[in-house]
């Protein structure tokens, strides 16, 4: 027997309603804050991810799913491991810089990372992604945070905590990188293997390490936030003022980083405290002004963020989410063997009236069909008798004669 690939999951019929609820809530939050939907390909030229995420990141070095076509010698694609690169590409490729700015885009994306599968960490996962282009103003950062907050609170996850940090300007980040290397270099031998590697490739990521070997050295490491210049300080303070005005609680976390080279200024993360100790990350984002020009676009500012929908779904399931009872009445068409063809002939007209239908003519007796219909959640059953068409209310037991065109009104 062939099973689903490791790290992927099937979403079974009983689980899809929660998924739809989560996706719908995120989409409504985005639309209510002026984001428009964009859909981009599931795979892109591998160079796009290499250029936007940068060599030396885990996503590029270890986690890319590479795709090679049969007849595409020299071309190489990758399944998208994150959403920003493809959307930035589309913004540039379709000349969206000429539209009124800011351009606000959202997408629900399946993402692929070859990670070690565990609960909450899958090789295919889904994110609610938002990107806002064409503004370097701190209000744009705050707007993206507001959109994620709106989705989380509407989902009943208002207890999610927001951590915030600033990565400063590109120059401040570069200077900070040197400071970090100077601090960690003498400690190199004591650090975890990952951090040793990151010391040369991506030292900011060491601050983000959860490895116990690194923990003793983190509290005394330099904080970028302490040495921000006026411009960056003002940017962060203004974002914070917006959040306070909107009643969005946050804490400043000087250890929060986005390891990708193009990030600057604001970065943030949403998490839920968990009993296991380590908070569960739900999503995050930040400003990445220099990615657009690096990919051939305008230097006009960009900020984006993603929420991990698998984790939101798992969390809501753990908290006992109940599907609201369906308001749509479902009609069963039941019939004895001898009359099945006549009953089947009713179906097209009922379908065209947009009535939700259930049948199982393979069952022999009327009573066994009625029992199964009730189990399926049908509220009414329709059958043909000598007195004409009969409509039976399965909850109250009442029965009436109806004409076909009256059925819709009778069951509402």
Point out which residues bind ligand AMP (CB under 6 A). Answer: 82, 113, 115, 120-122, 125, 127, 281-284, 306, 308, 310-311
Residue in the shown chain whose Cβ atom is closest to ligand AMP: 308
Q: How far is the CB of 406 from ligand AMP (least distance, A)?
A: 50
Q: Do 166 and 232 touch, CB atoms closer than 8 A?
A: yes
Residue with Cβ nearer ligand AMP (302 or 355): 302
Q: How far is the CB of 144 from ligand AMP (least distance, A)?
A: 13
Residue with Cβ nearer ligand AMP (256 or 373): 256
**Measured at the alpha carbon of residue 269, what is the angle toward residues 303 and 28, in degrees to the nearest 5?**
65
Residue with Cβ nearer ligand AMP (260 or 334): 260
Q: How far is the CB of 269 from ligand AMP (least distance, A)?
A: 7
Distance CA 227, CA 166 (A): 10
Q: How far is the CB of 142 from ligand AMP (least distance, A)?
A: 19
Q: Do 140 and 160 touch, CB atoms closer than 8 A?
A: no
Residue with Cβ nearer ligand AMP (113 or 392): 113
Q: How far is the CB of 55 from ligand AMP (least distance, A)?
A: 17
| First-last CA distance in the chain | 46
Please report the beta strands in 158-262, taking only residues with DSSP state E, as ranges in sequence order.
161-166, 251-252
CB atoms within 10 A of CB 373: 24
> Which of helix, strand or coil describes residue 269?
strand
> Which of helix, strand or coil describes residue 77?
strand
Residue with Cβ nearer ligand AMP (109 or 394): 109
Task: Find, among 354, 279, 326, the residue nearest to 21 by Cα.
Answer: 326
Q: How far is the CB of 167 from ligand AMP (least distance, A)?
A: 14
Residue with Cβ nearer ligand AMP (205 or 311): 311
Residue with Cβ nearer ligand AMP (311 or 392): 311
Residue 233, CA atoms < 13 Å, CB-side half-sphere: 5
**Judging by beta carbons within 10 Å of its beta carbon (0-12, 13-18, 19+), is residue 327 exposed, middle or buried?**
exposed
Q: How far is the CB of 153 from ligand AMP (least distance, A)?
A: 17
CB-based contacts of 404: which residues, under 8 Å, 6+ apart?
346, 349, 350, 389
């Amino acid at each position: 027997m062939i099973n689903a690939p490791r790290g992927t999951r099937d979403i079974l019929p009983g689980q899809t309603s929660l998924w739809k609820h989560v996706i719908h809530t995120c989409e409504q939050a985005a639309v209510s804050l002026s984001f428009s939907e964009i859909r981009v390909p599931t795979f892109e030229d591998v160079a796009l991810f290499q250029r936007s995420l940068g060599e030396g990141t885990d996503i590029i070095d270890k986690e890319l799913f590479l795709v090679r076509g049969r007849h595409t010698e020299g071309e190489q694609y990758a399944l998208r491991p994150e959403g920003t690169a493809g959307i930035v590409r589309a913004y540039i490729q379709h000349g969206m810089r000429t539209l009124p700015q800011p351009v606000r885009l959202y997408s629900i994306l399946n993402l692929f990372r070859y990670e070690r599968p565990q609960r909450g960490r899958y090789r295919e996962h889904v994110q609610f992604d938002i990107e806002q282009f064409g503004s370097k103003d701190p209000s744009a950062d705050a707007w993206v945070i507001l959109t994620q907050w709106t989705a989380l609170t509407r989902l009943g996850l208002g207890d999610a905590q927001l951590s915030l940090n600033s990565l400063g300007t590109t120059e401040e980040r570069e200077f900070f990188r040197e400071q970090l290397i100077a601090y960690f270099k003498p400690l190199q031998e004591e650090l975890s293997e990952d951090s040793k590697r990151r010391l040369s490739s991506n030292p900011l990521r060491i601050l983000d390490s959860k490895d116990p070997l690194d923990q003793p050295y983190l509290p005394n490491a330099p904080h970028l936030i302490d040495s921000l210049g006026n411009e960056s300080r003002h940017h962060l303070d203004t974002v914070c003022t917006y959040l306070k005005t909107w009643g969005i609680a946050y804490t400043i976390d000087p250890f929060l980083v986005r390891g990708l080279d193009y990030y600057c200024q604001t970065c943030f993360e949403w998490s839920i405290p968990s009993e296991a100790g380590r908070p569960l990350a739900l999503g995050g984002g930040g400003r990445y002004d220099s990615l657009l020009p690096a990919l051939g676009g305008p230097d006009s500012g960009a900020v984006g963020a993603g929420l991990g929908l698998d984790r939101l779904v798992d969390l809501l399931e753990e908290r006992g989410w109940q599907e609201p009872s369906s308001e749509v009445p479902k009609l069963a068409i039941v019939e004895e063997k001898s009359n099945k063809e006549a009953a089947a002939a009713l179906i097209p007209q009922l379908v065209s009236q947009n009535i939700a239908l259930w049948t199982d003519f393979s069952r022999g007796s009327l009573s066994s069909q009625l029992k199964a219909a009730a189990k399926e959640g049908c509220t009414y059953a329709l059958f043909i008798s000598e007195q004409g068409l009969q409509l039976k209310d399965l909850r109250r037991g009442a029965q009436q004669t109806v004409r076909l065109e009256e059925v819709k009104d009778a069951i509402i």
